[in-house]
Structure 1
């Protein structure tokens, strides 16, 4: 069994494989074991995508960091950076359950092999010529999204003379303190970075849809309803939406202050990017702007365009299996790929949030157990 990715979903799947008696490659005596699994991860250290988060994101501000199965997450200091606390927890977890994650290892492709097996071709990130081909009866793909930041196309983007960067590449607010910043995107990262940037510079927030603020508490029931809505799309073979696009943004005290201060008040998307900023096709007044947005000048000069526009699933290595359907996505039944039940996708669609990742790891292993008699 091969698990690709050692984020929350991948580690949860590895835990449940171990609970069912499979032995991790690298463990003493694994060569003689009747059933084995290996976890391949392309990051240099434990932590999944959390190790890449900006340093100022603390555990108090990070949304949705949940326990892995079998070990509670204990953070004695809420002000600790998430990029340190979560990798430390993941490293403890890998050691506690002897998961023997192989890293840094990148998977090039997955294809059909002999005897109904899958062939998983991987190589060392540090030494690409060192290629290993794994034969697997089943695959849990937990490669996540961090490796595929989404950059939308807008007229004039190549003409902009300032700085453009994605959430993926954000380091600190001080690095962007040299001028006005236009923040693009309606998700949690955009909101968090707007508040951080407001301490050192001026900002303009633009979104494709008016911000959806959620007044009521985010209960487990609300979470399950959101997951079900996203799952409807994956069952239909449509590209998955993010959980936040369904749940909206929690209206915390910090966000309320940001709204009151004018920082968290969004404008509609601009129509064009100019060499020195962004432009709307015509001046807008309060009477012309739909509810949820605010008006503003037709042109805003900017030093930086910060694209908080999300990520796409990192699935290029699965291309040889031809899993995508006519809708542009992959038809799913829970974590199971309908076109090839040997392949389980975790951290995809409804399980892309941390609240769903651990549950998805368990579900994926149950599917494989029924299919393969683990």
Structure 2
């Protein structure tokens, strides 16, 4: 059994930022438990062409700038390389290929068990696994009878395998738009959404949106409940929008049902379809905390700003709108981690 001052579950951007800041708050022995073969979280598994909509200067974790032109928009592989380098500089001990199955607390000590039978103990635990491990597919009538392919954006990699097909992309966020835009030249593609796509210019008045978010302090405004009600908006410099138009990618109201060979549109029209790609987000993935008292009936954490309101010595980092608009981003996880570590250190003392 291995003991630490702090155990961080998850070696993605949130977990690495937490591990980097932990020594400042008195956690000298830090363990990071990562289920994958190397740190990096979900980034290595995102689709090939994924491009950040925040410039490199606004995409860094605490203590290490993002390399290259600060005004460029990094791609997936840029982020993977950045996180790999970042992890290599940490004083924390990282345990790859360590899938956590249970986390329990007894006598003021947390006991963490992994799938392969190893056990770890600590005074405090931070759950930084995010939600990528639980892709959300909405229940749509006829899905099980549909003879085509249904996949989530988490399993999408590149457009080439769909060349010549009739494809529907479901969703109105940045990922859905990027995927539909790159499918357009190769496949007959339609974007299906519940409401019209909302567009936000990437460079209003000649400045990147994130410059405005920083200088208005909206990026860090502690208005989580209000922010959670803001409709999903696609940040675009015009590239994706023009690509959709150029390649004939139309937008339609969400279809009502699958059939054996296609979909039934809201107007009653049946159309044969070969593939449906759902870019419909994710749900909390904290199954290892089941039975700890830290989760509600839906499996979501009960917390205030990331600090568990139910169990002492437990926190969360990397959840959407956890404390602010930027909580689930490379630029925002460090702020949330610092806030949480300060409070966990006080409890520990």
Coarse TM-score class (shorter-chain normalised): 0.7 to 0.9
Tell me the distance in 1 between the aligned counterparts of 2:104 and 2:238. Answer: 50
- What is the deviation of 1:42? 0.7
Match of 1:272 in 2: 257
Tell me the distance in 2 between the aligned counterparts of 1:20 and 1:228. Answer: 22
Match of 2:282 in 1: 311
Pair 166,264 (structure 1): closer, same or farther in 2 beyond 3 Å: same
- Report whether the alignment pairs 1:181 with 2:185: no
- What is the deviation of 1:261? 3.2
Tell me the distance in 1 between the aligned counterparts of 2:127 and 2:175. Answer: 25
- Report whether the alignment pairs 1:198 with 2:184: yes
Match of 1:224 in 2: 218
- Report whether the alignment pairs 1:52 with 2:57: no
Tell me the distance in 2 between the aligned counterparts of 1:171 and 1:220. Answer: 31
**How many correspondences in the alignment?**
328
- What is the deviation of 1:265? 4.2
Question: Residue 109 of structure 2: which of 117, 120, 135 is its match?
Answer: 117
Question: Residue 6 of structure 1: which of 7, 11, 34 is its match?
Answer: 11
Give 5+ residue unaligned stretches, structure 2: 1-5, 322-326
Match of 2:52 in 1: 62
Question: Which deviates further from its counterpart, 274-283 or 194-203?
Answer: 274-283
Pair 213,6 (structure 1): closer, same or farther in 2 beyond 3 Å: same
Match of 2:294 in 1: 323
For 1:204-353, what aligned pairs fall within 5 Å after superposition? 204-215=190-201, 216=204, 217-218=209-210, 219-220=212-213, 224=218, 228-229=222-223, 231-232=224-225, 246=231, 248-258=233-243, 260-261=245-246, 263=248, 265-283=250-268, 298-325=269-296, 329-350=300-321, 351-353=327-329
Contact 1:56 1:81 in 2 (8 A): no
Pair 80,224 (structure 1): closer, same or farther in 2 beyond 3 Å: closer
Deviations 1:71-110 (A, max 9, x none): 1111369999834322221121122223221101010011
Pair 45,223 (structure 1): closer, same or farther in 2 beyond 3 Å: farther
- Report whether the alignment pairs 1:365 with 2:336: no
TM-score by length of 1: 0.80
Cα RMSD (Å): 2.7
Pair 247,228 (structure 1): closer, same or farther in 2 beyond 3 Å: farther
TM-score by length of 2: 0.85
Contact 2:25 2:342 in 1 (8 A): no
Deviations 1:24-50 (A, max 9, x none): xxxxxxxxxxxx221101111222211
Q: Secondary structure at the match of 2:290?
A: helix
Q: Secondary structure at the match of 1:255?
A: helix
Deviations 1:203-256 (A, max 9, x none): 111112221212453522578369745x228xxxxxx95x9x646112422133
Pair 159,55 (structure 1): closer, same or farther in 2 beyond 3 Å: same
- Report whether the alignment pairs 1:20 with 2:20: no
Contact 1:2 1:37 in 2 (8 A): yes
- What is the deviation of 1:188? 0.9
Pair 263,371 (structure 1): closer, same or farther in 2 beyond 3 Å: farther
